Structure 1
């Protein structure tokens, strides 16, 4: 809905294109209800708790983590995750979450008057798993037995439970969540959701975003997952000026098929088969712009930790300018390209206010091609052969002369009387 009551929010993880009747019934059954141990999430993609992922996920393999962490680990930066809550039962998130700064903003009842199972008041209950996945991508701590870790492993998560599987979050509660994040000292805010049907919500949401930016907070939001249908509508809050709108890329650094495109897209990040933390412990893989946004939010935290005085605009420009791209400037599919954490932290000598196109060489005189003969003239050939003849003759004469001398000396030695 829109207007003064706000618009319903939806998470930005990609959903299967087709859902069977049995799956649909199961999804309805778990809406708003706590998930028991080994339950399946409403998206039907993960089990909670999950198995430990032993290797290094591809989205982390593309990054030289030691190179990144030698420059910044995100220490001292607080990242607000406005989502479905963050489950601190996962060991990799236990020490990453500031439970004292969290909040639960879900209403007591839904629009039809049904009681909502809200969970902990500090935002550390996550019956959906969405917020726990997002938080892990940002700041999961290293752990034995797995190669998965957050990109900013020393950053601190502020858990804000503002939505649930039923979409009970509104634009008004999202605005309230943003204000809470600012009040709790967030340096970065991650919003992996948007308004339903891409409807522009109450202006109160934009006002909250503007207040956060004015306070020096980097605001990152997912672009949306309606790309398969060619949907290029703006999504909110991603489309607001100053918000870093994130699309999804695949293993080939190309736009993921589901990722929403449009002029509002600023940057792209891995969003296919993203391994991350789940409630109760362990990991699972999921996909969607929901999980691309925290990848960028983590890079923002790394930069902010290293450059404390940089503004949100400068941090966003740094991420965009150093991205991997196949075109000189911005395009509607992946924005300025796919985020490159290493370049973002190494090519940072001077802050930028906005990204600029990388044009090719212009007005440059090409080097003169060296003149290399492809063959030789008849005269050159005769000269070469004559030279060979002279040199060969000299060698032969020397050999004959040397042989004659040796033969003479041998005869003289044989003619001498034997000594007694």
Structure 2
């Protein structure tokens, strides 16, 4: 199972100061004044019509909890918050597509814009939407690591993985209990990649600046995986500089790296994917082993990968098209 505090202690000689990694949370917004988020939020934008325009106030609490879980997994990350789910816990995929398009803008974009490395989405929709599919595909093509919650539908339907987790180029996250076994609400399907803890997870609450609550769902598992991906990106830049950071900053490559942390790296099934994640399964062997793993996936890295220089992997996007309305909902109980 996960041993995140142990992992950070183990790799800390190689990752302090931590290279900057930014995670975008697409959700119900955030209680920005909560103590957990001090000096962590670098940009916020609301995409939900008629709800606190230009603010991301979270009266629902779902987004606040998910953002807090990312930080509890990997405390050095920065957050960009996009409100794409209403205070009622529902939304439209058009809002999410608009948010992703905004995230892919370059430095000529709005003043409060900040490029991101990882996009975490703890919501789901049973219907396909072509414009949302386009936006997600562009994010992946631009080198963003995209992570999404599988849904909480258990085995209600033959096909119960929600979009966007159902897209093949997205890392699909299910939930497990503290024994590493699939949660009763986590769905089954060939799209499942990994399990992460998603039962009774303590996270910040939007009820007050010092309040917390326990949450369950694949929504809670997803930001944990986003945090682990941030850990990988930071570690890669520290030991291999710009070239190695660029190499791991792709969803497909990140999926293969995460497999090295999984309980079943050589076996995939529809209940557990490649199993539950424990970062120590990879990091305990040190930087030389990590470099070897990366090169096994992407091929030999240039000599520059031995340096420790920051990287800019930001790319431009194409113009978005209009989307049909598709409803989505958060993936927490």
TM-score bin, normalised by smaller chain: 0.7 to 0.9
What residue is the counterpart of 1:187 in the other structure?
117
Normalised by the size of structure 2, how large is the TM-score? 0.75
Specify the SS of the correspondent of 2:131.
Answer: helix
Q: Which of 84, 97, 101 is the aligned partner of 1:162?
A: 84
Q: CA deviation at 1:291?
A: 0.5
State the alpha-carbon separation in 2 of the partners of residues 255 and 159 from structure 1: 29
What residue is the counterpart of 2:74 in the other structure?
152
Matched ranges for 1:199-218 at <5 A = 199-200=127-128, 202-218=129-145
What residue is the counterpart of 1:233 in the other structure?
160
State the alpha-carbon separation in 2 of the partners of residues 181 and 63 from structure 1: 32
Taking structure 1 as reference, are residues 343 and 72 closer, same or farther at Cα in structure 2, changes over 3 Å only?
farther
Normalised by the size of structure 1, how large is the TM-score? 0.60
State the alpha-carbon separation in 2 of the partners of residues 219 and 331 from structure 1: 21
Q: Do the aligned residues in 2 keep the contact of 1:72 with 1:302 (CA within 8 Å)? A: no
Q: Indicate whether 1:309 and 2:246 are aligned.
A: yes
Matched ranges for 1:285-304 at <5 A = 285-304=214-233
Q: Do the aligned residues in 2 keep the contact of 1:181 with 1:189 (CA within 8 Å)? A: no
State the alpha-carbon separation in 2 of the partners of residues 213 and 224 from structure 1: 21
Greater strand content = 2
Q: CA deviation at 1:245?
A: 0.3
What residue is the counterpart of 2:180 in the other structure?
253
Taking structure 1 as reference, are residues 272 and 68 closer, same or farther at Cα in structure 2, changes over 3 Å only?
farther
Number of residue pairs matched by the alignment: 271
What residue is the counterpart of 1:92 in the other structure?
36
- Long gaps (5+) in structure 1: 1-57, 109-117, 140-149, 355-420
What residue is the counterpart of 1:66 in the other structure?
9
What residue is the counterpart of 1:83 in the other structure?
27
Q: Deviations over 1:301-338 (max 9, x none)?
A: 1111222122312122101232123x841111121111
Q: Deviations over 1:363-402 (max 9, x none)?
A: xxxxxxxxxxxxxxxxxxxxxxxxxxxxxxxxxxxxxxxx
State the alpha-carbon separation in 2 of the partners of residues 102 and 61 from structure 1: 27
Q: Indicate whether 1:176 and 2:102 are aligned.
A: no
State the alpha-carbon separation in 2 of the partners of residues 291 and 172 from structure 1: 23
Q: CA deviation at 1:64?
A: 4.2
State the alpha-carbon separation in 1 of the partners of residues 3 and 58 from structure 2: 25
Q: CA deviation at 1:119?
A: 2.8
Q: Which of 277, 283, 286 is the aligned partner of 2:204?
A: 277
